[in-house]
Amino acid sequence: MTRRQLLQTEETQTGKTRTAENQTEDVIAQPENGGTAHARAAEPEVAAAHTVELTAAEPGTAVMQAADVSATATPAAAEKPSAAAQPAETPPAKRKSGGDPEEPVLRVSDLSAAYRKNRVLEDVNFSVGRGTLTCIVGPNGAGKSTLLKVMLDLHPRLSGTVSFFGTTYGKVKSRIGYVPQRGAVDWDFPADALDVVLMGLYGQIGWLKWPRRRHRELALAAMEKMGIEHLAKRQISQLSGGQQQRVFLARALVQDADLYFLDEPLAGVDAATEWAIMETLRALKERGKTVLVVHHDLQTVREYFDHVLLLNRTVIAHGPTEETFTRDNIARTYGGALRWLEAGVV
DSSP state letter for 235: B
- CB burial string 304-330: b at 16+ within 10 A, e below: bbebbbbbbbebbbbeebeebbbeebb
pLDDT at 83: 41
Task: Please tell me the distance from the alpha carbon of residue 172 to that of residue 178, in angstroms, as a whole number.
Answer: 13
In sequence order, what are the beta bridge partners of 307? 134, 320
- Cα dihedral 168, 171, 176, 180 sign: positive
Q: pLDDT 10s per residue in the chain (346 long)? A: 565 666 566 555 555 545 444 443 443 334 444 443 343 333 333 333 333 333 333 333 333 333 333 333 333 333 444 444 444 444 433 334 344 556 799 999 999 999 988 999 999 999 999 999 999 999 999 999 999 999 999 999 999 999 999 999 999 998 999 999 887 777 788 889 999 999 888 888 877 788 889 999 999 999 999 999 999 999 998 998 889 999 999 999 999 999 999 999 999 889 999 999 999 999 999 999 999 999 999 999 999 999 999 999 999 999 999 999 999 999 999 986 566 555 455 5
pTM value is: 0.69
Backbone phi, then psi, for 79, in 5-degree steps?
-75, -35
Distance of alpha carbon 37 from alpha carbon 14, whole angstroms: 12
